[in-house]
Amino acid sequence: METKTAVTLLAALAQETRLAIFRHLVVLGPQGLNACKIGEALAIPPATLSFHLKELAHAGLIKARQEGRFIFYSARFEAMGELLAFLAHDCCGGRECGLPASSECKEGGC
């Protein structure tokens, strides 16, 4: 993963409203939830919600799928996983460090 990509993902999550949205979607799994309901659940006004959903989607952390008149948003676990792997990469210079092993770490012998 490029450093710039990582910064984009981290910046997308480094905001209280967006982190709340993302975590709400993470728990719901692949089915997700439509924008309106997300706004209701977290008490976010439409314009603000739209802004943050776009940010998350642009970062690739969530994806949208049209379903009738609704747009369902769901978490993209791939992006999440790649970010975790990136953050744990080369942790402690290869020594034991107590971090949850990332996929890269496992193979490298972290």
In the complex, the residues that contact DNA under the rule CB under 7 A are 11, 15-18, 34-37, 39, 44-55, 64, 66, 68-72
Least Å from the CB of residue 69 to DNA: 4
Nearer to a copy of itself, 49 or 59 (CB): 59
Burial annotation 72-107 (CB, 10 A radius, 16+ → b, else e) = bbbbbeebbebbebbebeebeeeeeeeeebbebbee
35 binds, among a copy of itself, DNA, none (CB under 5 to 8 A by kind): DNA
80: Cβ contacts below 8 Å, ≥ 6 apart: 26, 61
User: Taking CB under 8 A as the rule, does residue 5 contact a copy of itself?
Assistant: no
CA distance 42 to 15: 14
User: Taking CB under 8 A as the rule, does residue 60 contact a copy of itself?
Assistant: no
What are residue 7's phi and psi, to 5 degrees? -60, -40
Q: Which of 1, 58, 81, 108 binds a copy of itself (CB under 8 A)?
A: 81
In order of 22, 23, 77, 87, 101, the CA distances from 105 in angstroms are 26, 25, 19, 11, 6
- Of residues 24 through 53, those in contact with a copy of itself by CB under 8 A are 26-30
Instruction: Give the residues lining the site for a copy of itself (CB under 8 A).
Output: 3-4, 6-7, 10-11, 13-16, 19-20, 23, 26-30, 77-78, 80-81, 83-85, 87-88, 90-93, 95, 97-103, 105
